Amino acid sequence: MTVLVTRGWPGAGRTAEGLRARGIDPIMAPVLDISFRARIDVDLSDVQALAFTSSNGVRAWGPRRPERDFPVFAVGGSTASDARKLGFRKVYSADGDVHDLAALIKRKLKPEAGTILHVRGIQVAGNLSGELKAAGFRVRDAIGYGAVAVDALREDAIAAILCGAPVSVLIHSARGAKTFLDLARKFGLQAWLKSVTAYGISANALKPLENAGFAKLVTAAQPNEDALLDLLVHPMELAPLGDAS
């Protein structure tokens, strides 16, 4: 089985480990470069909790801020695990997407108790701030990192697609999906996408690939890494997202 990992480092390394544990040796083809800011300067005097919508937010916070006493609300298990490893003691996981995270915060916290600090990248999926503000919460952003599109697909990834044999591509975000498609078009790979199946961590992540000529678009049963990787191990249980062409 040929599997391309498109998420940026260091997350790509974790995905590769998960695949190898399932007996799959992937081709590493990150389409986004993650760049962390030198500092995170933010006033914490009115903050009641931190919200992380990705593990990169946790990684950005780790060496740049010493605070570990705030409750942490994480979008999923992987992000929550990283927060615990960093030394946060009170960590809640939404085990879902941004909507689930907003719902969790609304259940656990009260708006009058203080501001929610969303530690995030320059670009962000979903609208955590908007959902929480609609419920009366005060939300402030702390930008910890950015994701920059790479200029080219790796040669081994291009070769895998051009050979015409079935290829599986893992998609972790809508921006990653769009960047992968842009690069495929840049290198003239459109005709070969009919042999490529894209597996997405969520339906939203796969949206940029709809009607782009892929063999199939398949979304994970739950928006987390384990559910995404399990798609490759249990193909008979797949339910297509929809018509890919």
Tens digits of residue pLDDT in 176-211: 999 999 999 999 999 999 999 999 998 989 999 999
Question: Is-contact 132 140, C-beta < 8 A?
Answer: no
pLDDT band at 231 (very low <50, low <70, confident <90, very high): very high
Q: Tell me: pLDDT of 95 over 50.
A: yes
**pLDDT given for residue 184 in this prediction:** 96
Closest CA to 229 of 26, 46, 69: 26
**pLDDT given for residue 210 in this prediction:** 96
pLDDT band at 53 (very low <50, low <70, confident <90, very high): very high
Adjacent-strand bridge partners of 27: 4
Set out the domains of the chain in order of their start, with CATH numbers.
Answer: 2-31+151-242 (3.40.50.10090), 35-147 (3.40.50.10090)
**pLDDT given for residue 240 in this prediction:** 47
State how far the Cα of 171 lies from the Cα of 60, in Å rounded to an integer. Answer: 22
* pTM summary value: 0.79
Residues 102-118 have pLDDT tens digits of 999 999 999 999 999 99
Residue 139 tokens read as 């939300």
State how far the Cα of 154 lies from the Cα of 28, in Å rounded to an integer. Answer: 8
pLDDT band at 62 (very low <50, low <70, confident <90, very high): very high
What are the Cα distances from residue 233, in Å, to 139, 154, 161, 171, 191?
40, 25, 21, 16, 27
Mean pLDDT of 76-104: 94
Q: Tell me: pLDDT of 131 over 80.
A: yes
Q: What is the pairing mode between strands 47-52 and 216-219?
A: unpaired
**pLDDT given for residue 233 in this prediction:** 84
**pLDDT given for residue 235 in this prediction:** 55
Residue 89, classed as helix, strand or coil, is coil
Average pLDDT, the chain: 92
Residue 240 tokens read as 């297509």
Beta strands in the chain, from DSSP E residues, in sequence order: 2-5, 27-28, 32-36, 47-52, 72-74, 91-93, 115-121, 139-149, 167-171, 196-200, 216-219, 240-242
Mean pLDDT of 150-167: 95
Residues 159-179 have pLDDT tens digits of 999 998 999 999 998 999 999
pLDDT band at 126 (very low <50, low <70, confident <90, very high): confident
**pLDDT given for residue 238 in this prediction:** 43
